[in-house]
Each structure stands twice: as C-alpha cells, then as structure tokens.
Amino acid sequence: MKKGSKYGTHRVIEPKGSLPQPAIRISNDMEICDNEILIDVDYLNIDSASFTQLKEEAKGDIEKIKERIIDIVGKRGKMQNPVTGSGGMLMGCVEKIGEILKDKIDLKIGDKIATLVSLSLTPLRIDKIINIQPDIDRVEIEGKAILFESGIYAKLPEDIEDTLALAALDVAGAPAQVKKLVKEGNSVLILGATGKSGLMCSYMAKKMAGDKGKIIGQARNGSRAEFLRNTNFCHEVIIADVLRPVDILDKVLKVNDGKEVDISINCLSIPNTEMASILPVRDGGVVYFFSMATSFTKAALGAEGVGKDVTMIIGNGYAKNHAQITLDLVQESQVLRKIFKEKYIK
C-alpha cells in the first residue's frame, strides 16, 4: 500500500499544498493508502445550508438536484457545494482498512459507521444516486468514500435505528457546544428552533440553564410555533422573521422582561441572518453561529455597526465526545426520539 498523509494532503490535486477541505479538487481514486479507510456508502446527509441552496437552484426539481450533486462530485472529487462551501456527512460500512490503522482503531470490516468529518473534505465516488429525500436532506447512493487517518467517526449503536442515528450525528457538534456554552440561569435565544439542530440545542440549553434560566425558541409561523410549544423544550416561543433583525429583537425583549439575552444560537439554513443573531444579545454576551450560511464579514461588520460588544463563535462541528453526547440526548428524551423517528426513519 502507498503511504499517505495523516491529514489527507496526498489527495489534494488543486491547489498543491492545500488541505483537503479548502482544496478545489481532490483525488477520489478508491485505491486506499496505508492510513486510510474505504467505506461502502449507503447515505449522504447533505448539510442543511447546502441542500437548501441546491433545492432553490434546481427549483425543487429532484432530477436536477441529482445532476448537480453528480456534477459537483465529478469535478471536485468530494461533495462540497461551491456556493456554500459546506458538505455534510455519510453513513456506510467499512470495506477495507489501511495496514497501519488495523491495530490503531476499533473498527473491523463490515462495521457500520457515520463519518463525523465534512463531506467537503471526504474523497467520494458516486456510482448511482438511488433516491433523494428533500425534506430531510438525505441522498441514498451506491458509491465509495475514503476516511483519512485524522478523520473521526462513530460506530452506529445497535439500540438506535441507523437512519435516526445518522440524522442526530449530522448535527452532533451543536448540542455538544451548547452544553459547554450555556450556564445555569442563562437566557438563550435559539433561532431555527424547530429544525433538527435547533430542537437538540433547545433541549440541551434548557437542561443546562436550569429552573432559573429562560430558553426562547424562534419559529417562522404559527404551526411551527405550536409544534415547538408541544415539545416543552423552550420556556417561550416567538414567531418572527429572521430576515428582520429588529422584529426578532422586539419579540425577544417582550418575552424576556425587556432584557437582551445572554446567548443566541443560530441554527438556520439561510443566509443574511447574522444581525438577527447579534441584535438581541446583551453586551458581553455570546453569539454562536452553527449555521453554515453565516458570513464572517456580515457578522463582524454588522456587530461593529450596531455597537455590540459580543463574543461571536463559529460553529465547530467537532467537540470532545460530541457523538456520544448527541446520541445520549436522543435516548434520554422520549419526545426528541419520537420526533426524530417520525421524520428520519424512512
């Protein structure tokens, strides 16, 4: 077997010297190096911001979405949306393990895993797209993928359905980061609280903030707001337009005793929501951008423009033990598990 770089730089075609994620093109040759893992892929979970963009570009036409995904992977050697720059994750079975990894990792041939690194850096070959489920951003394929030595993964647990685990692990970084950020007594605004990451963040935030805290969930319309209220994950639910920051601020102040919140968490999948995240947060507070549609420029200059002294955190998809933390939430909350089962087991 050929020797490979721990971080996959040997796969980079353009530009040379780059890491695989920011690279324009990488090799998706499925002959593995001595420190790589070959995966027989069942499903791709395209990240929400990317899939939203693909659907809008294709005007909802599934065949056009298929063509666009095939085109991206063909040109880039990976599933990295050229507009959003983001990818997603995958689920599949271990087909082959590089020689130097066999004694280092807890995997064997046939193990079912979910990758916890982005598709935007994962060498991928799609032989056929079998099905697309646009309501849950899932693409069923026949294909192969490569996991680098530095790549993280989770073996799928036997007591949780595979597709449910895949859906939860797709956003594993969010609730794990919220667990670190939210302290007892904090007031927290969750934008996009009715989505997959939003629900998990709301549940975790309420758990961490305790009886003295206040979790405020944002929903886009009445039906989504009613759904969120029924989960009991938030103390307050607001119906507000995330593209109208002052509307968000006004409604937050109304339910938070006229005060700005300590923390806001952006779990949205659309662009131009930076100021809706920043404006309702008090000076010295924290804004956590889990959304892959976030613009650093708009966030930085926007906060400056309204005189907000806030700490802004880019959503890191990795946190220590994030896979286990997330799977534990799904097992702990019967409400969360029921919602995920109804939506993601198909």
For residue 269, the model assigns a pLDDT of 87
Look at the chain and count its residues. Answer: 346
Residues 178-188 have pLDDT tens digits of: 999 999 999 99
Give the separation between CA 92 and CA 142, rounded to whole angstroms. Answer: 10
For residue 163, the model assigns a pLDDT of 86
How is the chain split into domains, by residue range? Answer: 9-156, 173-339
- Which pLDDT band holds residue 252 (cuts at 50, 70, 90)? very high
Residues 18-75 have pLDDT tens digits of: 999 999 999 999 999 999 999 999 999 999 889 999 999 999 999 999 999 999 999 9
pLDDT exceeds 70 at position 346: no
Give the separation between CA 268 and CA 155, rounded to whole angstroms. Answer: 28
Give the separation between CA 281 and CA 294, rounded to whole angstroms. Answer: 17
pLDDT exceeds 70 at position 85: yes
pLDDT exceeds 90 at position 344: no
- Which pLDDT band holds residue 320 (cuts at 50, 70, 90)? confident
- Residue 304 corresponds to which tokens in the numbers above? 């400056």
The CA distances from residue 266 to 60, 68, 76, 234, 292, in Å, are: 25, 27, 29, 15, 10
Spell out the alpha helix ranges (H) of the chain: 48-57, 62-76, 162-169, 173-181, 196-209, 222-231, 245-255, 274-278, 296-305, 322-332, 334-344
Average pLDDT over residues 128-153: 95
pLDDT exceeds 90 at position 343: no
Residues 205-234 have pLDDT tens digits of: 999 999 999 999 999 999 999 999 999 999
- Which pLDDT band holds residue 170 (cuts at 50, 70, 90)? confident
- Which pLDDT band holds residue 277 (cuts at 50, 70, 90)? very high
CATH for the stretch 173-339: 3.40.50.720
Greater confidence (163 vs 20) lies with 20
Average pLDDT over residues 3-17: 95
Whole-structure pTM value? 0.84
